[in-house]
Structure 1
Amino acid sequence: MTTAYERARAVVWAGGFLIELARDQSLPLHIRQRAVWIARHFPTCGEVALSASLTEHGYETALDLARPKEGDDWTSDFQHGPLTSSTRLEWPEK
């Protein structure tokens, strides 16, 4: 069974992966466009943290997520950073 910690980490990693896909010029245009489209509707790091905070305070959330443990950096492996509310992904045209 997946833990709340593992679910949260996977969501953050998936968001970062979408950014990597969207900005990788070596990928076909339709793949980069799909990554941008999905990223626009994907939970950001802030939304993951909010969900984890609500769970910690006894509220039921759809995903039941947990915060990173002390010293964990779930975003260090992403060249372009994690998916945040300030992430700007341009729609690929070519």
Structure 2
Amino acid sequence: MNKSDLIDAIATDAGISKTAAKAALESVTNNVTSTLKDGGKVSLIGWGTWSVSKRPARDGRNPQTGATIKIAAKNVVKFKPGAGLSDAVN
């Protein structure tokens, strides 16, 4: 499922226009992104939790040459599925 398929599904399920469904989906994604960018966490009970984790700088290795390289520190987004989502998938 891609973004346009999701917009179609939201519009059908909620009985709203595709324009309204697109606006709602963009609002959700923008708010989740904004919260994570500010270092917060987003929890949807029964579905899952997004959080940001800091990955420290480290030394790596170029597999072609064997040379040591520096890998910069960065923030990564993590998702932990909730019990409801896990049960639905299994």
Report the TM-score when normalising by structure 2. 0.30
More strand by share: 2
For the pair shown, the structure with the greater C-alpha radius of gyration is 2
Higher relative contact order (CA closer than 8 Å, sequence separation 6+): 1
**TM-score, normalised relative to structure 1:** 0.29
